[in-house]
Amino acid sequence: MDIVFYILIFCIGTLFGSFFTLAVYRIPLRQDITHTRSYCPKCNHRLEFLDMIPIFSYIFLGGKCRYCKEKIRPRYLLLEIFSGIVFVLFAMSIKLSLFNLETETLVYFIVGLLYLATIFIIAGIDKERIEIEKPVLLFGFICVGIYMIYLYIVDNDPNMYRYVIYLMLACILLLFSIYYLRKKGKDSYTIDILVLSILMILFTYEAVYIYTIIITLLCASLQLLLHKLKERKVKAVKNVKVENSKIPIGFYMCVSNIIMLLITNFLIFYA
């Protein structure tokens, strides 16, 4: 029965993945993500139910819009599959079982999915635009904040003071970013990265965050190295200048954090 349970979780993950693609596209454009029906970004035709079945719709439609025949980017399919896999791995990492649904584990699982949803959307937007949307960060803090309150009420968690300090620091950084830097017309990407870091520390703790940063730095260094090699090659052949490579630090942080969260859970729950 656990296999059926995990298949159900995978299906839920793919549904979330389909929503992530919508959110990544609409949030930067300040479009509604909850009430407005999905539509093709090319021809603006409203999509029907058969057009929105995760994974299967992409395969049966041949990766094309049913109405304008424009190609659908493969990232939509990959994100749906990856979301389903991550949701299943997260459930397995905490030993979630249909026959052993303890309240604490179930609450952690639900909050964990909301946290992962936040991280997925942040990663998707940052990968495309090199920016972190504050409303998505705020949603993440609300979910994690409610979970911290739950832990304090149920378990009398002694770490409450730690949570409060981090939350206050995040509020200060956000206020500074919104009211000061915007007036000065300066980029607040660095501040947003710091706020994202606090969110990760709150839910995954400091040790996981440290490994997250290590992997992020390695990935960023690799991208920079590859860009330099490409720049030299292009200059040698065409003698033209290559545009500077913008590194999506937030994207690398999110992917690294998901990986480290899963690994840490497996080590803790299966020790």
Mean pLDDT of 229-253: 74
Assign 181 a pLDDT band (cuts: 50, 70, 90). Answer: low
Q: What is the pTM of this model?
A: 0.90
Which has more confidence, 190 or 239? 190
Asked if 58 and 77 count as a contact pair (C-beta separation under 8 A), the reply is yes
Asked if 90 and 13 count as a contact pair (C-beta separation under 8 A), the reply is no
Give me the residue spans of the domains in the chain.
1-97, 102-271
Asked if 27 and 133 count as a contact pair (C-beta separation under 8 A), the reply is yes
Classify residue 38 as left (phi > 0), alpha (psi -120 to 50) or beta. Answer: beta
Tens of pLDDT, residue by residue over 27-39, are: 988 888 877 777 7
Q: What are phi and psi of 71, to 5 degrees?
A: -70, 140
Q: Residue 266: pLDDT above 70?
A: yes
Q: Which of 154-168, 175-189, 191-205 has the highest mean pLDDT?
A: 191-205
- What one-letter code names the amino acid at 265? N
Asked if 198 and 166 count as a contact pair (C-beta separation under 8 A), the reply is yes
So what's the pLDDT on residue 196? 95
Average model confidence (pLDDT) across the chain: 86
CA proximity to 188, closest of 140, 133, 232: 133
